[in-house]
Structure 1
Amino acid sequence: MSSKRAKTKTTKKRPQRATSNVFAMFDQSQIQEFKEAFNMIDQNRDGFIDKEDLHDMLASMGKNPTDEYLDAMMNEAPGPINFTMFLTMFGEKLNGTDPEDVIRNAF
């Protein structure tokens, strides 16, 4: 008789994230404001912010960004910038900053 080894299933555990749901970091009105900002930047309306979208948005504000500047901005994201990534990036930037009312009261 041959003995069979019991197969054990191993699963890789994903690295712990700062928050499991980026949408939980903001209230609904904040998410709506971020969505409006995202839609203003997403000039070609494809659901992603790319280098051309950034250029067009900044140009509409009278700026003339260099390719190096745009590349640096795009390189802050680990991948394509859809709305969830956009919200995640803002969450990371705002994490640890004072609440809006504290900042306003400082002035």
Structure 2
Amino acid sequence: MSSQKASRKAKKKQGGKQRAQRATSNVFSMFDQSQIQEFKEAFTMIDANRDGFVDLDDLKDTYASLGTDPEETILQAFKVLDPDNKGVLHKDYLADMMQTQADRFSRDEVLQMFNISPIDAAGNLDYKSLCYIVTHGQEEEQA
């Protein structure tokens, strides 16, 4: 038994070393210099204001330069869930789809979306208005 325990300890120790190596590895070592240069150029193209970060304005500028309307892109994604083209989706259905399909949203992310969403008394979310709010911002309520 003691030889089995020693063998397990050796495997754990070896496994630990492998994890440590993975944790400290440099992702860029997987690419050659020309590929890294292409990544840098692509980032520079997307970072339109040259601040070192890709933010919402940079993405809007990128979409515009590609001839893609971000509002229309988001609207088309919602229309996939609305085959009858009603322009609204029940919030429970939408929450379920967003938390269980593809790139899943967390409960907090869904609640954040609902906080800015126009939802009627029946629980229907007007996704066309939501697309406008996401791409143009929410109007401040005047007191």
Larger relative contact order (Cα-Cα within 8 Å, sequence gap ≥ 6): 1
Q: Which has the larger radius of gyration?
A: 2
Same fold (TM over 0.5): no
TM-score of the aligned structures, taking structure 1 as reference length: 0.44
TM-score of the aligned structures, taking structure 2 as reference length: 0.34
